[in-house]
Amino acid sequence: MNRLDGKVALISGAARGIGAETARLMIEAGAKVAIGDVLDERGRETVRGLGDAAIYLHLDVTSADDWNAAVAAALGRFGGLDILVNNAGMFLGKGLEEASLDEWHRLVAVNLTGVVLGTKSALPALRDRGKDSAHGSAIVNLASVAGLVGSQLDPLYSLTKGGVTLFTKSTALEFARKGYRIRVNSIHPGVIQTDMGEQTFAARARNSGSNDVESARRIALNTHPIGRLGTPNDIAKGIVFLASDDAGFMTGAGLVVDGGLTAQ
């Protein structure tokens, strides 16, 4: 199950967190992985821990040139591209009235333009490899529970993730209509214990006026019926599944991995 033998993946924002754990699991499943990020030192350190099956590439997802260079480097090193994981993202823990226009533009650049550029740049290579593979190539987009239901606290972050949710469905349909053998699916994590997870607790604590991060963490925990917060491993396992041939009949779908948060 969930094997990726002979596959090549490019994962954005994989120097740490969910992306780094996804790279580790993909290599365990038999893939070669190119990791892109703006945190060059952290990214190289992550790759050192992964061995020869991984390379690190500087990739600012807001730059078309960076994306084209990253795809070319992955092709040069590993000879093809089967999987794209649009994982890079940023959080903005501010309400509509508090957020500035500059903050909104930055959020859009990373969370939306980054996904559009990644999909566009990787498309020819994914299309090529999709032709000869049993269930086609795969794109997995990191959306969020915030891309499924409204958010009273982070409306702008939620807007970007809602965009990722529907872009996933639309590209799945566009590629199918054009006969490209590329499956596109999204994953929707609940609150995951990563640097970004910590940023959400800090923002909640700040916004409540108490600055009590532990209390914010407890409140977040209580929104997950399963009784714990998520780990990068919980999400990486879902991403590996969506990228693998075991998800061969899935396209335009969203996999919710949220400990029951949106079941309520």
196 scored as a contact of ligand NAD (CB under 6 A) = yes
- For 34, phi then psi, to 5°, come to -100, 125
Q: Closer to ligand NAD at the Cβ: 53 or 109?
A: 109
- Give the number of other CB atoms < 10 A from CB of residue 249: 9
Q: Which residues contact 131 (CB under 8 A, 6 or more apart)?
A: 181
**Which whole-number Å values give the CA distances from 111 to 95, 126, 204, in the listed order?**
17, 21, 21
State the number of binding residues for ligand NAD (CB under 6 A).
28
Rounded to whole angstroms, the Cα distance separating 56 from 46 reads: 8
38 scored as a contact of ligand NAD (CB under 6 A) = yes
Q: Closest separation between CB of residue 132 and ligand NAD, Å?
A: 30
Q: Closest separation between CB of residue 189 and ligand NAD, Å?
A: 4
Q: Closer to ligand NAD at the Cβ: 133 or 193?
A: 193
Q: Closest separation between CB of residue 202 and ligand NAD, Å?
A: 12
Choosing from 157, 167, 175, 180, which is the catalytic residue? 157
- Name residues contacting ligand NAD, limited to 134-163 (CB under 6 A): 142, 144
Q: Closest separation between CB of residue 159 and ligand NAD, Å?
A: 13
Which residue stretch of 37-45, 118-126, 177-185, 203-211 sits at the interface with ligand NAD (rule: CB under 6 A)? 37-45
Query: What residue type is 98 in one-letter code?
Result: E
Q: Closer to ligand NAD at the Cβ: 13 or 136?
A: 13
Q: Closest separation between CB of residue 230 and ligand NAD, Å?
A: 7
The residue whose two tokens read 């925990």 is: 221
Which residue stretch of 12-20, 117-125, 178-186, 239-247 sits at the interface with ligand NAD (rule: CB under 6 A)? 12-20
SS3 content of the chain, % helix, strand, coil (to 5): 50, 15, 35
254 scored as a contact of ligand NAD (CB under 6 A) = no
Tell me the chain's radius of gyration from C-alpha atoms: 18
Which residue stretch of 60-68, 121-129, 207-215, 239-247 sits at the interface with ligand NAD (rule: CB under 6 A)? 60-68
Q: Is there a catalytic annotation at residue 56?
A: no
203 scored as a contact of ligand NAD (CB under 6 A) = no
Which of 169, 188, 185, 166 has its CA nearest to residue 235? 188
**Which whole-number Å values give the CA distances from 53 to 9, 49, 233, in the listed order?**
10, 10, 19
Angle CA 25–28–29, to nearest 5: 90
| Residue 49 contacts residue 123 (beta carbons within 8 Å) | no
Give the residues lining the site for ligand NAD (CB under 6 A). 12-13, 15-19, 37-39, 59-62, 87-90, 110, 142, 144, 189, 191-192, 194-197
Q: Which residues are catalytic?
A: 157
